[in-house]
Amino acid sequence: MPAAPLLAQGDCVGRTQRRSLFAREGFRSHASACVQVRGKLVGILEVFHRSEVERDPEALGFLDAMATHAALAIDNTQMRNQLDLASRSPRVDPQPPADMGALDRRILAMVCKGATNAEIAERVYVSIHTVKFHVRRLRERVGAANRTDLALKATRQGWN
């Protein structure tokens, strides 16, 4: 993971508004480091001092290391949450239902590819009305609101 860039003292957003608040608390200096996860800024790590502190490379390197550790912890938590969510999602059945005939499977595959009723009718040698009947029946079987929803659900289930 690349090192988080360090911010100069005046680079903080809202710094002028916060300056008086920090002065009331007795802070005299501070240093900041960006916390980035996979190239995305997720926060800023700030360290405040009640006395003037010289910014030596070793102290800034330590602050940078703390920001990197925070970024790793955030990334690890995000990945764990995604894994937990994926493990709780319902398993998909790559096979269409057993009662789906060969014609229904061919029609469903063509619907998923975006073919029109006329194109499907021409390819499977049936009338457009027969194609409409099969598409409507497939929609009802899957619980799809329309053709697009049917194609989406079939693709997610791995049926095409």
Tell me how far apart the alpha carbons of residues 18 and 92 are, in angstroms, rounded to a whole number.
Answer: 52
pLDDT at 119: 94
What are the DSSP E strand ranges found in the chain? 6-7, 29-37, 40-49
| Averaged pLDDT score across all residues of the chain | 82
What percentage of the chain has pLDDT greater than the value 70? 82
CATH fold for domain 102-157: Arc Repressor Mutant, subunit A (1.10.10)
pLDDT band at residue 118 under the 50/70/90 scheme: very high
Q: Where are the domains of the chain?
A: 6-88, 102-157
Contact 23, 51 (CB under 8 A): no
Tell me how far apart the alpha carbons of residues 135 and 115 are, in angstroms, rounded to a whole number.
Answer: 12
Q: Does the structure show a pLDDT above 60 at 7?
A: no
CATH number of 6-88: 3.30.450.40
Q: Does the structure show a pLDDT above 80 at 91?
A: no
* Range among 23-37, 77-91, 121-135 rated most confident: 121-135
The one-letter code for the residue type at 12 is C
pLDDT digits (tens, 9 = 90+) for 51-76: 887 878 888 888 899 999 999 999 99
Please give the backbone phi and psi of residue 32, each rounded to the nearest 5 degrees, phi first.
-135, 150
